């Protein structure tokens, strides 16, 4: 067992991948509900979740003149649902199938007067992923490893928030993408990006403007079939300027992946440093500077002046 005060615990993928697979699907259900009921925001920012003091939250969702929120509480290990008219309910996070969790989630919302239907096919997972109501394969939940994930997310959120505060141009929040299961922040140059052939409507909206993005991913099998066998930090530019892959970035352990077309920094490398949070912000800054300079961004107009 890891010390519960350790912000940067070990998170070996092999030790918790069954819990990860189950939790990923539970989080997708909640994310899909948020997306279905929330007014669209550019780049799909209305769909994301956020790190809270207890886990991951949807923040406020409107519903027929009321408001409600759903929060994965990774301290008490429950999904808490709260409404603006005083209603509340909890669903235990414990070993149980995706199908059972889906059924209880929908019946609990209905009991609170919230009737919502979502597309039950998981996304950004292998094409043969089982729909939520039928999935009795994934039924693991280890609170120790979920707690480790949460502690890492709190540290990453802090580091990326510091990085975000240095930019006065258009920037995303530090937010959690439930489809890909990563925590990220994105900066924009202010210029429209050329449309790439073969984009679907989701990708077209997400990458409509030039950007650089940095985030944390626990690793696993990407929906393309590519595998990253450990937690990593990543950074990429879209469109990627010429020379970006050869750029010098920090810390030294960061390297460009031709398979993923992004820089990657293994999580285990920052754990051994005296100040992991500082290393994360250095990675975010250096990859941003490389991309922005090579693409000719107006950095003076977009960056907060240094004291």
Note the pLDDT of residue 17: 96
CA distance 246 to 207: 23
Two structure tokens written together for 9: 């615990």
CA distance 278 to 285: 10
Strand partners, 43: none
Band of residue 4 on the pLDDT scale cut at 50, 70, 90: low
Render 81-139 in DSSP notation, one character per residue: EEETTS-EEEEE-SS--HHHHHHHHHHHHHHTT-------S--SS-TTPPPGGG--S--
pLDDT tens for residues 6-15? 899 999 999 9
CA distance 74 to 53: 9
Band of residue 281 on the pLDDT scale cut at 50, 70, 90: very high
Band of residue 175 on the pLDDT scale cut at 50, 70, 90: very high
Name the pTM for this structure: 0.96
CA distance 121 to 118: 9
Going by C-alpha positions, the residue among 47, 7, 42, 25 that lies closest to residue 188 is 42
Note the pLDDT of residue 2: 61
Band of residue 222 on the pLDDT scale cut at 50, 70, 90: confident
CA distance 153 to 94: 20
Note the pLDDT of residue 256: 98
CA angle 108, 110, 115 (to 5 degrees): 135
Going by C-alpha positions, the residue among 282, 10, 272, 262 that lies closest to residue 151 is 10
Say what percent of the chain tops pLDDT 90. Answer: 90
pLDDT tens for residues 44-90? 999 999 999 999 999 999 999 999 999 999 999 999 999 999 999 99
SS3 content of the chain, % helix, strand, coil (to 5): 35, 25, 40
Please, which residues have CB within 8 angstroms of residue 62's CB and are 6 or more apart in sequence? Answer: 37, 38, 39
CB 200 within 8 A of CB 223: no
Indicate the length of the chain as a whole number. 307
């Amino acid at each position: 067992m890891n010390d519960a005060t350790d912000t940067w615990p070990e998170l070996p993928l092999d030790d918790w991948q069954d819990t990860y697979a189950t939790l990923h699907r539970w989080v997708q259900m909640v994310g899909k509900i948020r997306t279905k009921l929330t007014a669209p925001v550019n780049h799909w920012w209305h769909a994301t979740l956020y790190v809270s003091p207890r886990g991951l939250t949807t923040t406020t969702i409107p519903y027929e003149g009321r408001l409600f929120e759903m929060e994965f509480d990774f301290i008490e290990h429950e999904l808490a649902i709260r409404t603006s008219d005083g209603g509340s309910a909890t669903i235990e996070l414990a070993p149980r199938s995706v199908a059972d969790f889906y059924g209880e989630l929908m019946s609990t919302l209905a009991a609170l007067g919230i009737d919502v239907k979502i597309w039950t096919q998981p996304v950004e997972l292998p094409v043969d992923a089982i729909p939520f109501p039928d999935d009795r394969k994934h039924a693991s939940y280890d609170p120790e490893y979920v707690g480790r994930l949460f502690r890492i997310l709190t540290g990453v959120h802090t580091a990326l928030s510091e990085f975000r505060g240095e930019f006065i141009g258009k920037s995303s929040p530090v937010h959690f993408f439930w489809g890909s299961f990563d925590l990220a922040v994105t900066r924009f140059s202010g210029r429209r990006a050329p449309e790439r052939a073969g984009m679907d409507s989701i990708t077209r909206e997400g990458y409509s403007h030039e950007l650089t993005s940095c985030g944390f991913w626990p690793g696993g099998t990407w929906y393309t079939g590519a595998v990253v066998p450990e937690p990593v930090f990543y950074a990429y530019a879209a469109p990627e300027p010429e020379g970006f892959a050869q750029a010098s970035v920090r810390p030294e352990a960061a390297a460009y992946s031709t398979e993923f077309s992004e820089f990657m920094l293994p999580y285990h490398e920052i754990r051994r440093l005296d100040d992991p949070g500082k290393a994360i912000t250095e990675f975010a800054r250096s990859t941003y500077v490389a991309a922005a300079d090579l693409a000719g961004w107006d950095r003076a107009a977009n960056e907060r002046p240094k004291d």
